[in-house]
């Protein structure tokens, strides 16, 4: 790997940390605070255990949860806008290309296949958190804490559901690029 490519990858790590930390603080912070302050420990550990089961889902099961095989449906839902402000998204890539004009997140077929595989891991992560947020939100509702329940629902859509759809959207675009003859 060339020195410039190594520098670009290091810089990408730093640039990607910004949206990663920002979205994690905004999305996870309130839920973590509520869970720590209000959920009994046995319940909390049970919720964590149930949520972690999502990591056991094979890629085939995630494909059954897929909203659409076509990017068009995701675009209608505005998922492509999320790609602008996420790690490895358009904003990060634009900043990287200013300094390293030849930089590409997906420079070839092998990289596209790696990104395709990695997208399943990211989708599992958000699926596990989606389940956790649903359980914590249901706990809040059962305790009559409707404001918290509503906040957790909204955070779940923004921090987990849309990022899951983003991974599905990106996979549909990668698959189209990987088709023979392209």
3-state secondary structure the chain: CCHHHHHHHHHHHHHHHHHHHHHHHHHHHHHHHHHHHHCCHHHHHHHHHHHHHHHHCCHHHHHHCCCCCCHHHHHHCCHHHHCCCCCCCHHHHHHHHHHCCCCCCCCCHHHHHHHHHHHHHHHHHHHHHHHHHHHHHHHHHHCCCHHHHHHHHHHHHHHHHHHHHHHHHHHHHHHHHHCCCC
Q: Residue 156 falls within a domain, yes or no?
A: yes
> In sequence order, which residues have a C-beta less than 8 Å from that of residue 92 and are 6 or more positions away?
12, 15, 16, 18, 19, 86
Q: Residue 180 falls within a domain, yes or no?
A: no
Q: Residue 57 falls within a domain, yes or no?
A: yes
- Structural domain of residue 145, as residue ranges? 3-175
Count of domains for the chain: 1
Q: Residue 181 falls within a domain, yes or no?
A: no
Distance CA 162, CA 164 (A): 5
Residue-wise pLDDT tens digits, 55-103: 999 999 999 999 998 999 999 999 999 999 998 889 998 998 999 888 8
> What pLDDT does residue 1 have?
52
CA distances from 122 to 113, 125, 126, 165 (A): 15, 5, 6, 11
> What pLDDT does residue 124 have?
97
CB atoms within 10 A of CB 67: 15
More confident residue, 181 or 23: 23
Q: Residue 7 falls within a domain, yes or no?
A: yes
Residue-wise pLDDT tens digits, 12-44: 899 989 999 999 999 999 999 999 999 999 999
Q: Residue 45 falls within a domain, yes or no?
A: yes
> What pLDDT does residue 181 have?
66
Residue-wise pLDDT tens digits, 106-158: 878 888 889 899 999 999 999 999 999 999 999 999 999 999 999 999 999 99
Q: Residue 182 falls within a domain, yes or no?
A: no
The answer to whether 112 and 182 are in contact (CB under 8 A) is no
More confident residue, 77 or 181: 77
- For residue 105, pLDDT over 90 is answered with no
> In sequence order, which residues have a C-beta less than 8 Å from that of residue 70 and are 6 or more positions away?
172
Q: Residue 16 falls within a domain, yes or no?
A: yes
> In sequence order, which residues have a C-beta less than 8 Å from that of residue 173 and are 6 or more positions away?
71
The answer to whether 71 and 169 are in contact (CB under 8 A) is yes
Backbone angles phi, psi at 70, to 5 degrees: -105, 140
């Amino acid at each position: 790997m060339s020195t410039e490519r190594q520098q670009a990858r290091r810089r990408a790590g730093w640039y990607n940390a910004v949206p990663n930390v920002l979205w994690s603080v905004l999305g996870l912070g309130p839920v973590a605070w509520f869970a720590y302050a209000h959920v009994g420990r046995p319940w909390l550990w049970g919720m964590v255990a149930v949520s972690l089961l999502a990591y056991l889902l094979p890629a085939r099961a995630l494909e059954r949860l897929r909203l659409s095989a076509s990017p068009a449906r995701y675009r209608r839902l505005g998922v492509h806008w999320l790609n602008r402000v996420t790690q490895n998204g358009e904003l990060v890539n634009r900043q990287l290309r200013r300094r390293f004009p030849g930089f590409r997140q997906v420079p070839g077929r092998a990289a596209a296949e790696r990104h395709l595989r990695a997208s399943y891991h990211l989708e599992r992560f958000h699926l596990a958190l989606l389940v956790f947020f649903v359980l914590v939100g249901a706990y809040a509702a059962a305790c009559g804490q409707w404001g918290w329940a509503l906040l957790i629902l909204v955070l779940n859509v923004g921090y987990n559901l849309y990022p899951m759809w983003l991974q599905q959207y990106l996979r549909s675009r990668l698959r189209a690029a990987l088709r023979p003859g392209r």
